[in-house]
Structures are given as structure tokens and as C-alpha cells.
Structure 1
Amino acid sequence: MPRANTADTYGSISKAFHWITALLILTLFPLGVIAENLPYDTNEQLARKAWLFSLHKTLGVTVFFLALTRLLWTATQIRPAPLHPARKAETFLAEMVHVLLYLSLVFVPLSGWLHHAATEGFAPIWWPFGQSLPFVPKSEALAHLFSGWHWVLTKLLLLAFALHIAGALKHVVIDKDDTLRRMAIGKAPRQPAPPRPAHSRAPALAGISAYAAALLAASVMAWPTAAPQAAQAPEAPQAAPMALPANGWQVETGTLALTVTQFGKPVSGQFGAWTAEIEFDETVDDGIAGRVEVEVMIDSLTLGGVTDQAKGPDFFDAATHPRALYSADILALGDGQFDAVGTLTLRGTEAPLDLPFTLRIEDGTARMEATATTDRRDFGIGQNMPDEQNLAFGVEIKVDLVARKP
């Protein structure tokens, strides 16, 4: 069997590309559906769901590179002429479906990879390329957009794949010709192909136009969800002003962020709505310099691709416990070092939490930065996740405030 294509049949390399790709498609579709519908209520269920999603994503990236290689090979090869050139409508549709398939084999896995790169958290890709892509920031709005692309384009791929199979069966059952035999392993055509008709770009243009329309439709479908989230992106948190009644300080900007570690990878997020009252005496260098009371709205949390899971009953349980409270005394330690020593009430459970922080005041502007780590188990968070390989016990808290004195 020749490696390259001839005027009558496909070569061994084209056949290998064809059947490997078909096998991967037939594997990826059910794998994605199964992974999507698996529960993740327990540690074992989450591990199984994540493993299947990792397999799905890893094979998807494989399809992407396989498709690019196949396109490069196809560009160097002649294509056997259609056996029924007089059937112009059928030939047009067959070539258009081929174009849709080729485009789908590139853009379906690419859209999934983009979605993964824009999302923090959950099933990693096993290829050694890292979990990010150049020029793709971690953004929930972008993640929704790419997810919309992936959803629509997979349906287009499924349609083109089904039409391709239906056409092949027609050639076998109804036409009884050599069309499928040309792509069969170890088979040679029983008759030479007719002369190739004049080449037309119309099927390719029709396929590209259909694909562009599908991408536009996917973008429009995703936009109503992505747009509001873009307005509430982490770069513009909606924290309420914080009053410092002791001496008139007013907090202008603030970020209350947290980082969890899932499957060994950090997942960062923040609370977009919270209020605080702070009493603080900047003249105290040693001892109690004030007090802080913070109220956090749990439902304002965004945490990468696991936001809904994090706010669910097994974790923060936003529906039952919509607020968290932090009360602490502010201790001055000298040299701009302070410690907020208090308690955090979360999910109805109270536990001690110390928050060391630095405070620098220059030209009427104060900058406060704090980092602390707490154990999620102290608040009954993720009790169904006792394995740190799936979800680490430690949760890092970061606070960054800028205040000015009028």
C-alpha cells in the first residue's frame, strides 16, 4: 500500500490519520458526557470526575495537534476524484461536510483548551504544556465565552460526523461503489476513478461561512452570561467603604481574596461584597491600637471554575449561612507591624484567626497588607474531601486595603 495518496485511493498515512481521528472522536464524546454528569459529592466521586475530565481534555489536545498535522499532510497530497461527479449537489454537500469536519477537529479542542486556560481549578491537562496559554488571562467572562464556543462547535462536529457516516453508508448500501473502500485499511479500489471535474471553491466557502456563523451564534449565546461577570471581574471588587471613626480614615479600595489548592494547583478568588468597621489609633506603637469588625457576603464569592461548588452545601453553604463575621483586636507590634487577633464565624462555626499585617502611612495615604492561612476543617468546610491531594486543608487569606485621611 503506498504511503501517499493517488488519483484512485488514499495512502496509508491518510488512512491512519482518518481512523485514529475517528476513534478519538468516538471516545471523546461519550467520555465528556459521562464526566459532565457524574456527581462530585464525595472525595472519591470528585477524584473520579476530575480524572475523566483530565482524560477528556488530554485526548482533546491530542486531537488538536493530530488535526494540525493531518491538515499539513493533506495540503501536500492529491485527493481522489469523486466517483459520481455528475451528482453535483451530492458532491457539493460531501466536500462541505469535509470542510466542517476539518475545521471542527481544530476549533473544538482549541475552544476547550481556551476554556481550560481561562479557568482556575479542576481537572488538569496531563500534557506537559502547563495549564495556561499565552495571552489567555484567568477570567470567568472569557471562560464562559469559550465554554459557549465549545458547546456549539461540538454540536456542529457531531452533525458533520453523523452526515459523514451517513454518506459513507449510502455509498456502501445504496451506491455499492468504492468510496468507502478507498479509505479502508488494506483495500485497493476495484475500478479507477473518473477524471476529476474542475475544482470549485464553493463548498469550502460554504463550510467556512457556516462555521463563522456558528462561532457568532456561540458568542451571542454566551455574552448575556459573560458580560455581567466581566463587569464584576476580580480586578474591580465591589467592597463597601470602611469607616475608621477614631481619626477619620476612609478606606477607598479593598480586596478580600482567598486561595485554595485543588489537585495540587492553586485556585484564587475573592469576595466582591463585604463591609467593615475599624477603630484605629495610629499613635499607638505597642499594645491594643484598635478593633475591627468585618461582615462578608458569602454569595459574592468568585473562585475560578469551582465557584458554584465552593458556595454549595458541602463547602461555604451560602444558602444556609449567607454571612461570615470576623471580630478582632488590633495589636501594634512596632515598625509598622500589626496583628489582628480575633475570631472568624463561618458556616455557624466560630474559630480563632490571627491576621498579621503591615501598615504604611505616607502623605496621608495608608496601605494595609495581610496574609494568613486557616484550616478549612475548623469550619466544617469540605468534610467530604478528607484527601489533601484533591483539596488541601489550608486556605490562604489575603487582604489589601488603601485608605486616605481627608
Structure 2
Amino acid sequence: MFKHSSSRYTAVAIALHWAIAALIIFMIWLGWNMDENETRYQLHKSIGITILLLTVARVLWRMLNPPPALLAEMKPLEKIASHYVHLGLYALMILMPLFGWILVSISKFQVPTVLFGAVSWPNLPFLSGLRGNELAHVIIETLHSKGAWVIIALLALHVAGALKHEFSSEEGVLKRMIPGLFGKTQPPAAPARGFFIAFGGAALLFALIAAGPVLAQSSTPDKAAPPPLEQETAVATSETAPEPNWTVDYSKSEIRFSGMHDGNTFSGTFKDWTADVAFFPDAVETSDVRVKIQTGTATTGKKLYNDSLRAPEWFDVSHHPVATVRLTDFAKAETGYTATASMRLKNDTVTTPLTFTLDIKGDVATLNGEARFDRKALKIGQISDPNAEWVSDDVTVTVTGEATRK
């Protein structure tokens, strides 16, 4: 601990004070106005984690740069009240984001947290056993919601005390914390110290926590689980596949999925997939196509969607990294061809019609196809949205590409 006799706060302390105060006030409003609004819900979580990290920096800064002493004319009871109001505010600036983090971690819905749409933030791993526990959820939610009222009360006391001592004191206290307005009447703050310790410590904490999802995505599937790759590939190889007679040009080919979320259209693609194509234009009924899709490579252009798709109730990438599709029952139609698409995702297989056109010029074929899958039948997203209130049940899969005859 260091001591100084300046009556001014440092510029960093002033900046942190007003930044955190503004974020807290906005958070309270946001908490009351975010029902059924995913964007505000994610913003609420993002700002909560920001307040937590800024508070860590502020506590470290305060330890290295103690604040000015309280006014000498303050009564002992006023000093005690000021001390405990400040202590309560600091405690709640840490506890409130932690309560929110715990709530997200134990929620049965398991909606991913993506800070400001850019950084994946993990759930608290040691609370996985309480996931979906109603009693734990009620207790933490009560603490979180009632804590908001406590922090409002403490903020009111803090502001009232500051105003009282500003207008009833010769020295005043607002002059210490409002930047620039009273610089001529107040002595300068003592030289600041420990900038890199305070902000580096907060940044290091952020980096260590944020690295969790990155490391999890790069890890191998759980070895204690059934071997998913072998299980899921077995569907595509349960019968002897005919020798492929077409080579897919993956640089010109794409598997795209699309649907509706909260009234808006979303779409994405799989970056990594392979296809063994045995297609015979003169005997289409003997054709057979086998496709393997790396589900963890699904990308939508929105990080929240990407993280959601990798989660257990959706693709469950950590245990089921591969989905397989087999196309059979090919037949000619008036405007192209039809086939039956059998998709195996996780432990469920769903069949649906596929319609497609094929433009063959010499040994090069251009494909455009479409199929519709029911996510309820695939049993994905049935915990957080079983009634399709947010995400449509119908998912359209379009296939475009080019292949060369061997």
C-alpha cells in the first residue's frame, strides 16, 4: 500500500469511476428491458463481464494508488457510512456479474455467451452438475435481481453523500472526481503508479478465461464417449458403396443451410466435407452418393450462431464431429432428378426428398439441388427452443457444385 496527501483522484481512477458508473446504470435499464430480445440479452452479458474486468483493474489500481483521505470535518458516523457504502459497491460490482455468470452456466437453455459478438465466453465448468437445477436457478436469480435493488440504494446513498459534502463543505468532494472542472482550485493528484499491473492483471484474467473455448474447440472428442466417427461413418458404409465415377471440385461446390431466427433469415455453410459420387445418367436408379460433413466447420457469419451450432443440444461437435448423408432412390423428373437423402446427425437418421438439376457438358456436370429437413425430427435445439418460437423447424439445405467424370 502507498500513501499520499493529494486531495485529487488520479486520472485513471476518475476514468474508471465514471465508466463503471455509466455501465452500471445502463445495465440496470437493460436488465429491465431485455425480455425476449436476444441482442439485448447478449449485450447485458457482455457489459456484465466488462464491469467485472474493469472492477478488477480498479481494485488493483486502488491498492497501488490509494484515494484521498476523507474530509477532516466529516463526523465519525459519516466516515463509517461512507466506508461501508464504498465497500458494498465494490462487492456488488464483483458479485453481480458473477451471479449473472453463474445463472448462464446453470441454465438449462445453455445459450452461448459471445462478448460484443466477437469473443466466446465460457460457462463456469465446475457448475455443470447444477445445470437445469431449478432450486439453484431460483436462488441465484433472486440474488441477482434483488442485488440490482441493493446497488441502486447504495448508488443513491453515494450520490446523496457526495452532494451533501460538496455543498456543505468548503473543500467539497466532487472536485476530486470530476475531471478538468476544478483543476485550478485543487492540488494535482500524486504521480500514478502500477498502470501495467492493474490493467495487465485484468487483461491477463480476460485472456485466460477467453482461451477456454478456443482450446476446447481444438481438443479431440471425449475419449470416454462412444467413438463417434466410427459410429456415424458406419451408416454411409453399411452397404458396399459403388466405385465413384465423378470427382467433386470442392472449390466450386457448396453445402448451404438456411432458416429463420427471431423473424430474420440466417444461412451458413460447411467448410469441410467430402463426397463419393457414383452417378450414372443412363441408369440413375443404380446411382449412390455418400457425403461426410465435419459439423464443427459450420459457419454463418455470426459468432453467436456458430457457437450455438457446436453446442451439445445442436450438433454436439465434441462427441459427434461427423454427419453423414446418403443419396439413393434416384429418378428422373420433369425438370431434373429426385433422390432420397438420409442424414445421420448424432444418433438420429432422418430421410427427406432431394430435388436437383444436373447440367452435363462433356465430362463436366453442374449441380443445383435442394432438400428440407425438420430440426425437430433431427432432435436439435429441442431444449432451448422446442416449440420453434425462435428458430424455425424447417431448415433448407441447398447443394451447388461442379464435378468431373472420371
What is the TM-score with the length of structure 1 in the denominator? 0.46
Normalised by the length of structure 2, the TM-score is: 0.46
